[in-house]
Structure 1
Amino acid sequence: MGIAGKLTLRGLVAHKTRLALTVAAVVAGVAFVSGTLVFAATLDRSFDRAFDDLGRGTDTVVRAKKAFGAELGGPDPDRPLDRSVLAAVRKADGVAKARGEVSGFAAVVDRAGKLVGTEPRTGMDWNADPDLSLMRLESGTAPRRPGEVVIDAASARAARYEIGDRVPMALASGSRTFTLTGIVRYGDDELSGALTVTAFEPGTAQRLLMERPGYTRITVHAADGVPQERLRDAVGRTLPDGLEAITGRQAVDEVAEPLREILTMLRTLLMVFAAIAVFVGSFIIFNTFSMLVAQRTREMALLRAVGAGRLQVTRVVLGEAAGVGLIGATLGLAAGGGLALGLAELMSLVAGEALPFGAPVLPASAVIAAYSVGLGVTLAAAYVPARRAARIPPVAALRDEVMPPARSLRVRAFTGGAAVVAGTAAMAAGLVATDGKTALYLAGGGAMAFFAGVTTLSPLISRPRAWVAGWPLARFGGMVGRMSRQNALRNPRQTAATASALMIGLALIGTVSVITRSMAVTVDKQLETGLTADYRVVGASEITPVGPAAFDAVAKVPGVRGAVAIRSARIRLAGKVQTVTAGRPRELAGHFRLRVTEGTAAARGTDLLVSRTTAAARGWRAGTVVPGEFQDGAKATFRVAGVYADQKTISHPAPGMIIDDTAYRPHAADATIDRIELTLAPGADAAATRRGLESALAPWPSLVVKDRKTIKADAAGDIDLFLQLILALLVLSVVIAALGIVNTLALSVVERTREIGLLRAVGLQRRQLRRMIRYEAVIISVFGALLGLAIGVVFGVIVQNAMAEDGVTELAVPVGRLLLYVPAAALIGVLAAVWPARRAARLNILDAIKTS
Structure 2
Amino acid sequence: MYRTALRNVLAHKGRLLMTALAVMLGTAFVAGTMIFSDTFGSALKNSYSRSYSDLSVLVSDNGAQSDAVAADKAGADAPRLTATTVGQLAALPGVQQVRGIAQGFTAVADKHGKSLGQGQDSWGANYVPNGAGQDSRYPMAAGRGPQKSGEIALDRQSADKAGYHVGDTVRVATNGPAANATLTGIFTTDDPGVSAGAPLVLFDTATAQRLLVSPGQFTDLAVTAAPGTSQDTLLGEVTRVLPHATGQGDHGGIIAKTADRLQADQRDRIASSMSGMRTMLLAFAGISLFVGIFIIANTFTMLIAQRTKELALLRAIGASRKQVTRSVLVEALLIGALSSVAGLVAGLGIGAGMQVLVGALDNGHSPSGPLVVAPATVLTALLTGVLVTVLSALLPARRAARIAPIAAMSSGDQPATPKGLLVRNSIGAALTAVGLVLILWGSGAGSDGKWIVAGGAVPALLGTFILIPLLSRPLIAAVGPLLNRLFGISGKLARENALRNPRRTAATASALTIGLTLVSALTVLGASVGGWLDRTVTTSLKADYSVSMSNGLALSPEVAAQVAKVPGVAASSPLNDGDLRLAGQDRQVTGVDPAQIDQVLNLTMNSGSSAALAQGRLLVDADTAKKEGLVVGSTVATTFQDGGSTNLVVGGVYANNAMINPVTVDNAVLRAHGEATSVNQILVKGANGAGASLQQALVSAAGDNPIIQVQSRQELRDQFSSTISFALNMLYGLLAMSVLVAILGVVNTMAMSVFERKREIGMLRAVGLGRGGVKRMVQLESVVIALLGAVLGLALGCFLAWAVNGTLKNSITGLTTVVPYAKLLLFLALAGLVGLVAAIWPSRRAAKLDILDSIKAA
TM-score range relative to shorter protein: 0.7 to 0.9
Amino acid at match of 1:51: Y
> Among residues 793, 814, 817, which one is paired with 2:823 in the alignment?
817
Measure, in 2, the Cα distance between the counterparts of 1:380 and 1:653.
52
C-alpha distance in 2 between matches for 1:447 and 1:137: 60
Is 2:755 the partner of 1:743?
no
Q: Does 1:386 align with 2:397?
A: yes
**1:478 aligned residue:** 488
Q: Give the aligned partner of residue 123 of structure 1.
A: 124
- Separation (CA, whole Å) in 1 of partners of 2:846 and 2:736: 29
Task: Report if the CA contact (8 A) 1:537-1:677 is conserved.
Answer: yes
- Structure 2: which amino acid aligns with 1:11? N
Task: Answer yes or no: is 1:501 the counterpart of 2:516.
Answer: no
**The 10-residue stretch of structure 1 (78-87 or 251-260) with the greater mean CA deviation from structure 2:** 251-260
Q: CA deviation at 1:847?
A: 3.0
Count residues in correspondence: 834
Aligned counterpart, 2:31: 34
Give the whole-Å Cα distance in 2 for the aligned partners of 1:795 and 1:393.
Answer: 44
Match of 2:385 among 374, 380, 404: 374
Higher mean alpha-carbon deviation, 594-603 vs 806-815, is at 594-603
The 3-state SS of whatever aligns with 2:178 is strand
306-315 or 271-280, which moves further after superposition? 271-280
1:329 to 327, 340, 344: 340
Q: What's the secondary structure of 1:224's corresponding residue? A: coil
Residues 137 and 184 of structure 1 are in contact (CA less than 8 Å); yes or no, is this contact kept in structure 2?
A: yes
CA distance in 2, matches of 1:188, 1:600: 51
Q: Deviations over 1:496-540 (max 9, x none)?
A: 211111112112222222222222222222221112433211123
Equivalent positions of 1:166-245 (< 5 A) are: 166-187=169-190, 192=195, 194-241=197-244, 243-245=254-256
SS at match of 1:408: helix
Structure 1 residue 718 displacement after superposition: 1.9
Tell me the equivalent position of 1:157. Answer: 160
Distance (whole Å) between structure 2 residues aligned to residue 518 and residue 237 of structure 1: 57
Distance 2:241 2:524 in 1: 61
Instruction: Name which of 578, 588, 597 aligns with 1:580.
Output: 588
Query: C-alpha separation between the residues in 2 aligned to 1:284 and 1:413?
Result: 21
Q: Does 1:289 align with 2:300?
A: yes
Cα contact 1:536–1:707 (8 A) shared by 2: yes
Find out whether 1:566 has 2:575 as its counterpart. yes
CA spacing shift, 1:238–1:159, aligned 2, 3 Å: same
Counterpart residue type for residue 100 of structure 2: G
Code of the residue aligned with 1:555 in structure 2: it is: A
Aligned residue runs from structure 1 range 635-650, under 5 A: 642=650, 648=656
Cα distance 1:13–1:138, how it changes in 2: closer, same or farther (>3 A)?
A: farther
RMSD over aligned CA atoms reads 3.9
Map of 2:313 onto structure 1: 302
Give the superposition deviation at 1:55: 2.2
1:702 matched to 2:704? The reply is no
Task: Say if 2:66 is the partner of 1:60.
Answer: no
Cα deviation 1:430-456 (Å, max 9, x = unaligned): 6567888x945x544532322221111
Distance 1:598 1:347 in 2: 53
Mapping of residues 686-835 of structure 1, within 5 Å:
688-805=693-810, 806-835=812-841
Contact 2:297 2:393 (C-alpha < 8 Å) held by counterparts:
yes
1:777-810 per-residue CA deviation (whole Å, 9 max, x = no partner) reads: 1111122112221222222333333333322533
Query: What residue in structure 2 maps to residue 419 of structure 1?
Result: 431
1:405–1:813 CA distance, 2 compared to 1 (3 A): closer
User: Counterpart amino acid of 2:522?
Assistant: V
Q: CA separation of 1:773/1:42 partners in 2, compared to 1, >3 Å: closer, same or farther?
A: same
In structure 1, C-alpha distance between the alignment counterparts of 2:40 and 2:363, rounded to whole Å: 17
Classify the secondary structure of the residue corresponding to 1:371: helix
- Give, as a single letter, the amino acid of the residue that structure 2 aligns with 1:740: G
Q: Does 1:273 align with 2:284?
A: yes
The answer to whether residue 339 in structure 2 is matched with residue 339 in structure 1 is: no
User: Are the aligned partners of 1:392 and 1:404 in contact in 2 as well (CA < 8 Å)?
Assistant: no
Report SS of the residue matched to 1:124: strand
- Stretch moving more, 304-313 or 611-620: 611-620
Q: Give the Å deviation of 1:392.
A: 0.6
Match for residue 46 of structure 2 among 46, 49, 52: 49
1:514 aligns with 2:524: yes
Q: State the Cα distance separating 1:554 from its structure 2 match.
A: 0.6
State the alpha-carbon separation in 2 of the partners of residues 678 and 408 from structure 1. Answer: 70
* C-alpha spacing 1:190/1:312, structure 2 compared with 1 (3 Å): farther
Alpha-carbon separation, structure 1, partners of 2:685 and 2:621 = 24
Of stretches 614-623 and 326-335 in structure 1, the one that deviates more from structure 2 is 614-623
2:845 paired residue number: 839
- Where does residue 552 of structure 1 map in the other structure? 561
Residue 597 of structure 1, CA deviation: 7.3
Distance across 2 between alignment mates of 1:275 and 1:326: 18
1:331 positional shift:
2.4
Alpha-carbon distance between aligned partners in 1 of 2:779 and 2:626, rounded to the nearest angstrom: 61
Query: What are structure 1's unaligned runs of at least 5 residues?
Result: none
Give the letter for the 2:36 counterpart: F
SS across alignment from 1:61 = strand
TM (norm. structure 1) is 0.87
User: 1: distance between equivalents of 2:73 and 2:298?
Assistant: 56
Partner of 1:528: 538
The aligned residue for residue 474 of structure 2 is 464
Q: How far apart are the structure 2 equivalents of 1:75 and 1:372?
A: 52
TM-score under structure 2 length normalisation: 0.86
Secondary structure class of the residue paired with 2:414: coil
CA change 1:656–1:37 in 2 (3 A) is farther
Are the equivalent residues in 2 in contact too, given 1:742–1:832 (CA < 8 A)?
Answer: yes
C-alpha contact (below 8 Å) 2:155/2:194 kept by paired residues? no
